[in-house]
Chain A
Amino acid sequence: MVRIDGRESNNSLIQVRNVEKLYHRGSETIRVLDGLNLDIEQGEFVAFMGPSGSGKTTLLNLLGGIDLPSSGSITVAGDEITHMSGPKLADWRARHVGFVFQLFNLIPVLTAFENVELPLLLTRLSAKERRQHVETVLALVALSDRMDHYPRQLSGGQEQRVAIARAIVTDPTFLLCDEPTGDLDRHSGNEIMDLLEELSSQHAKTILMVTHDPAAANRAHTVLHLDKGVLVEAGQGRQQ
């Protein structure tokens, strides 16, 4: 279940309370997020839509612990991340968040296998255990036969699948996807959305996705609209 009214809920995996984000440009103050409340339960697939500059990516950054709110609090799985220090927040990100970006952002000098293995270097897994994890997730994204390929040898859709494999290999608490189909053609975009749906429905992954694409948003359980830093509407996606 997803709520934006700020009422207390015991089942929330992610709890956002009165979050504001202000940017200062010279003497001008820009309010990107304005007293935002949000509760998301485990296993939800949420799409955020809205015009450019509405604060979608900023919200995603705050939820992923890569930016801090000007005020308010964000709690994920019982951890309040808004007051965590840099190294602690980095450790928290490694354990709880999987990021998927519009431009895939794979490391070009590493193979698909090594790109997926990269976040596992931060764990205490042995080389053998890491290999098992990587092979499992590459099989899940149907790229077992491409694990030794470099990003430049893969299509855009395949690159994004590798990026998703990298995001889920540590079995994070939730996935943050920023326009995951934004740089793909319709066919590849559909494949990526199929994969995200599968992760949500069959593996109970909590997924938060920013998108401009109504068709992609429609695959989510819940669609939230952001406008001028405020969540103005909660709608139901096709799958709910």
Chain B
Amino acid sequence: MTYQKFVLRNIGRKKTRMLLTMGSFAVALFLFGLLVAIQNAFYQGVDMAGADRLIVRHKTSMVMPLPYAYKEKIGRIPGIAAVQAGCWFGGVYKEPKNFFAQLALETEEFRRVYPEYLMPEEQWKAYLGDLQGCIVGRKLLKRFGWKLGDRIALRGTIYPGNWELNIRGVFENKKQEDDTGAMFLNYKYVDERSPIKGLVAWFIIKVEKPENALAVAKAIDGEFSGASFRTLTETEQAFQSDFVKRLGNIKLILMIIGGVVFLTLLLVTGSTMAMAIRERTGEIGVMKTLGFTDRQVLALLLSESMAFALIGGGLGLVLVKLFTLGGDPTGGMLRSFHLSPLNMLLGLAITLATGIGSGIVPALGAMRLSIVDAMRRV
């Protein structure tokens, strides 16, 4: 026999209680995983944001355009490696429920500005050489069963009319969990057919040195401070973060839900552990007579509550990981729905802490109990 076996025997002494306790951990950790995956999906853009990219938009509002003519002036500011104009396209593929992100960007600087998107050389060339060309992420291609070279049609909402596009490339992302559920089309194609020409929603700036990003941002806004279209330049991360904040404080809401779940779990399992230990007071006394020290008794009892937590919580984490591997359950709203290894480790750490928290009070009581008092309760 080993201590591990002894711990497992003890936690299995009441099967129903064991299953219910482990089930509580499993459900809580499954929910934790879901909340984290949802948060990842919301903040994916923030996490992906490059430290060397800035976004220039209208100072008043994100929905107000800027003149395309600003591009040349911006490009002359020192410290800038590349400038790319872009806008949100917002087309509908067959039905509104088939939502996915579509961004119209200038193609020439694309690879320089977004080096994280990976695609074969010949596909880049094909994309650059076709005004009606578009590139799609691997996930998006799979979602609609498209193939490279397919011609698809989008119904414009911001830019009215039917828009026919040729799939010229399929991109991956350097970070596997990052989104490949979006489409990029050519800004020039959109601008050409737009009734009001020469307007952009934003400029994406690639700075030469990330440490100079703030100085460059200041210089850009200074350049247009007296213009009729004043600019607000911020890091891509700040821009994305601001975008998510418009939906509400998602992080806080998810943290509150998660906190309540774990507090409830702590109370329920704490009460279970207290009951389980109280029932064995006499046995604990016997173990002390055999020579087990108070600390060994404490360690054994805490190991039991940790075993409950790790087995139940581990099961919950495995199940939620399998669930997230199935991809976005909403069909487009949570494009980067995933759990990273770090998220899993955090889940395990929280489980372990909850396991210790639920067992510590009754285990300390058992540790402090004198043998004589314990034996009286046999």
Contact A108 B13 (CB under 8 A): yes
Contact A90 B288 (CB under 8 A): yes
What residues of B have a CB within 8 angstroms of the CB of A119 in the complex? 290-291
Q: Mark B154-181, 1 if CB is under 8 A from A, else 0.
A: 0000000000000000000000000000
A109, B11: Cα distance in complex, Å: 10
Contact B372 A61 (CB under 8 A): yes
Q: Mark B353-378, 1 if CB is under 8 A from A, else 0.
A: 00000000000000000111001001
Q: For residues 95 through 130 of chain A, which have their beta carbon under 8 Å from a beta carbon of chain B?
A: 95, 97, 99, 101, 103, 105, 107-110, 114, 117-119, 121-122
- Determine if B3 is an interface residue (Cβ-Cβ < 8 Å): yes
Assess A90 versus B1: contact at CB under 8 Å? Given A67-B372, A105-B283: no
What residues of A have a CB within 8 angstroms of the CB of B371 in the complex? 61, 66-67
What residues of B have a CB within 8 angstroms of the CB of A108 in the complex? 13
CB distance from A14 to the nearest CB of B (A): 17
CB distance from B375 to the nearest CB of A (A): 8
Contact A87 B13 (CB under 8 A): no
Contact B378 A103 (CB under 8 A): yes
- Determine if B114 is an interface residue (Cβ-Cβ < 8 Å): no
Assess A110 versus B9: contact at CB under 8 Å? Given A103-B378, A105-B378, A121-B1: yes
Contact A109 B292 (CB under 8 A): no
Q: For residues 292 through 324 of chain B, which have their beta carbon under 8 Å from a beta carbon of chain A?
A: 292-295
CB distance from B10 to the nearest CB of A (A): 6
CB distance from B287 to the nearest CB of A (A): 8
Contact A118 B290 (CB under 8 A): yes
- Determine if B282 is an interface residue (Cβ-Cβ < 8 Å): yes
Assess A114 versus B1: contact at CB under 8 Å? Given A86-B294, A87-B295, A109-B10: yes
Contact B13 A109 (CB under 8 A): yes
Q: Which residue of B lies closest to A167 (CB)?
A: B290
A191, B6: Cα distance in complex, Å: 30
| A-B contacts, 20 listed (Cβ < 8 Å) | A61-B371, A61-B372, A66-B289, A66-B372, A67-B371, A67-B372, A87-B295, A90-B291, A91-B293, A93-B290, A105-B282, A105-B283, A109-B10, A109-B13, A110-B1, A121-B1, A121-B3, A121-B6, A122-B291, A166-B290
Q: Add 5 more A-B contacts to A67-B371, A91-B291, A110-B6 (CB < 8 A).
A: A94-B290, A109-B13, A110-B1, A118-B290, A122-B292
